[in-house]
Amino acid sequence: MWKKLALAFCLGASAMAAQAADTAVTPAVEKTVRAAIASFGPGVHIESIAAAPIPGFYRVIASGQMVYVSADGKYMLNGDLVDIASRHSLNDDAWAGFRKAQLATVPAAQRIVYAPAHPKTTLTVFTDVNCGFCRKLHEHIDDFMKAGIAVEYLAWPREGVTTTAGRPTPTYTEMVSVWCAADRKSAFTAAKQGTAPKAATCNNPVKAQYELGERLGVNGTPAIFTPDGRQLGGYVTAADVLDDLRKHPLGGS
């Protein structure tokens, strides 16, 4: 069976690539795809629609998920799209581009930044002040600085922003207090060590950063992203980051 599938793929690969490249997202197709996604519920927010490498399908990023929808709106594929020749995930490439663009919209002033003088690379980390692995990562922040790795934290309270009763969650409230502290970095480090910050409120980005994380598919903390939008996963060491940087040099392939 697999030999037959491989032969069929080889015979159809060129035509498939050409057809996918020529497939534009026309207003009619966009309307159909949007209607198909909307049928899953009113809370599904579409971030982007683009032609997929599969003829007749379109790649949709919506509410932190990536799916492929047929042009007629009748079919949806939910899974990893892999280029068989390279064994490479095309989902990963699409996610990286989307995440890079979205993360670039967050001003440095809204992040909690730890950076050496001349960083080799910069990580964006969605964090929760009460999560065990987030605390463990921050315990080694000096290792990242010595290795030339900047770490820029964004808020992602795992409890969410509000409870089922509509009240602010305790973690959200604590993280707002951190982001509103006069000395944000000191309050952040203290919170990571288990000392709750002095209650404070202000015009803050915690809710917006939480919602951004949801759009990027974040479902736990720490969620760590490289400058090119790739997700490194959860807890990593400075040595892990340097090893990844050797494999994926900035500006390289």
pLDDT, one tens digit per residue, over 29-56 is 999 999 999 999 888 999 999 999 999 9
Query: From CA 59, how far away is CA 244, in angstroms rounded?
Result: 28
Give the pLDDT of residue 18. 36
Q: Is the pLDDT of residue 16 over 60?
A: no
The total of structural domains in the chain comes to 2
Residues in a beta bridge with 231 = 225
* 12, two tokens: 């159809």
Which residues contact residue 97 at a Cβ distance below 8 angstroms, ignoring those fewer than 6 apart?
229
Cβ–Cβ < 8 Å for 221, 131: yes
253 located within any domain: no
Indicate which CATH number applies to the domain containing 143. Answer: 3.40.30.10
Domain region containing 156: 108-247
**What are φ and ψ of residue 220, in 5° steps?**
-175, 170
121 located within any domain: yes
Question: What's the DSSP call for residue 162?
Answer: B
38 located within any domain: yes
- Does 232 lie in the same domain as 180? yes
Indicate which CATH number applies to the domain containing 21. Answer: 3.10.450.70
Give the pLDDT of residue 251. 62
- Mean pLDDT, rounded, for 170-178: 97
In sign, the C-alpha dihedral spanning 183, 189, 195, 199 is positive
Give the pLDDT of residue 234. 87
191 located within any domain: yes
Cβ–Cβ < 8 Å for 59, 49: yes
- Does 130 lie in the same domain as 28? no
Final residue in a domain of this structure, among 61, 79, 97: 79
- Mean pLDDT, rounded, for 164-191: 97
pLDDT, one tens digit per residue, over 198-246 is 999 999 999 999 999 999 999 999 999 999 999 998 899 999 999 999 9
94 located within any domain: no
Give the pLDDT of residue 113. 98
Lowest mean pLDDT: which of 8-12, 184-188, 197-201, 229-233?
A: 8-12
- Does 114 lie in the same domain as 47? no
197 located within any domain: yes
Give the pLDDT of residue 23. 53
DSSP 3-state of 178: helix
